[in-house]
Amino acid sequence: MRVRTAIVAGVLILASCGGRNESAHPAVKAEPSVSDRGIGPITEVTLGPLDDALAKKGKIIFEQKCSACHKIDERYVGPALKGVTTRRKPEWIMNMILNPTEMLEKDPTAKELLATYLTPMTFQNVTKDQARAILEYFRQVDSAPAEHVSQSKTVTQ
């Protein structure tokens, strides 16, 4: 917790030194063109009805490649993922999986997450198809009863 405060303070000092007449939120100001779809190979995802078979594939990949750092219901190395499909656009989720390094440099939301969790999201050698399956798994998780979702939201952010 102390580390986090120090880094935020450092960012503010840097911003105030180099910022001249810019606003107090240079992270947002610096990247005005960034959309809430994130940055990366995914520009458009068309979502159909929930595909349980795809979600099942996604769950297996999630357990192998992601679960060492992400749990569904609790903060671990990274944020809990329950409710992620209600917080983020599907394109953003897939870009974060497929292109984390650039996202952490340029996407304001991703930058904020790094400042919170401090361990950078890493590329886990996942293909586009695999990322899509993981997204479907998240959709399946989030199609659970509504009260469960709102409960987990308070845990994450």
Partner 1 sequence: MKRHMWSLFLLVVSAASIGFYGCSKNGSGTAFAGDDAAKSVYVPPGKHDEFYLFTSGGFNGQVGVYGLPSGRLFRVIPVFSVDAEKGYGFSEETKPLLMTSYGFIPWDDAHHPEFSMTDGKPDGRWLFINANNTPRIARIDLRTFRTAEIIEIPNSGGNHSSPFCTENTEYVVAGTRFSVPPAGQDVPIASYKEHFRGMISFVRVNPTTGAMSLAFQIQAPPFDWDLSHSGKGPSREWSFFSCYNSEEANTLLEVNASQKDKDFILAVNWKKAEEYASQGKGKRVKATYYVNRYDEGTHTATSNVMNDVLVLDPKDCPGMMYLMPCPKSPHGVDVDPSGEYIVGGGKLSTVIPVFSFSKMQKAIADRAFDGDVEGIPVIKYEACIAGEVQKPGLGPLHTEFDGKGYAYTSMFVSSEIVKWKLGTWEVVDRVPTYYSIGHLCIPGGDSKQPWGKYVIALNKITKDRYLPTGPELTQSAQLYSIEGDKMKLLLDFPTVGEPHYAQACPAELLEKNSVRIFKLEQNKHPYAVKAEKDARVERKGNEVHVYMTTIRSHFAPDNIEGIKVGDVVYFHVTNLEQDWDIPHGFAVQGALNGELLIMPGETQTLKWIPQRPGVYPFYCTDFCSALHQEMQGYVRVSSPGASVPLSFGTGK
CB of 69 to partner 1, least distance (A): 6
User: Residue written as tokens 């000092």?
Assistant: 13
CA 37 to chain centre: 11
x/- map, 63-102, partner 1, by CB under 8 A: xxx-xxx------xx-------------------------
- Residues 64 and 1: their CA atoms lie apart, in Å, by 29
Question: Is the Cβ of residue 37 or residue 121 nearer to partner 1 in the bound state?
Answer: 121
Q: How far is CA 122 from CA 37, 90, 99, 114, 119, in A?
A: 18, 18, 9, 11, 9
| By the rule CB under 8 A, 116 interacts with partner 1 | no
**In degrees rounded to 5, what are phi and psi of residue 30?**
-70, -25
What's the CA gap between 26 and 34, in Å, rounded?
Answer: 14
Instruction: Please say whether the beta carbons of 128 and 41 come within 8 A.
Output: yes
Give the residue with the Cβ less far from partner 1, 15 or 76. 76
The verdict on 120 binding partner 1 (CB under 8 A) reads yes
Contacting range for partner 1; rule: CB under 8 A; set: 42-50, 62-70, 80-88, 105-113: 62-70
Choice between 50 and 115, CB closer to partner 1: 115
- Residues of this chain that interact with partner 1 (CB under 8 A) are 3, 63-65, 67-69, 76-77, 118-120, 122-126
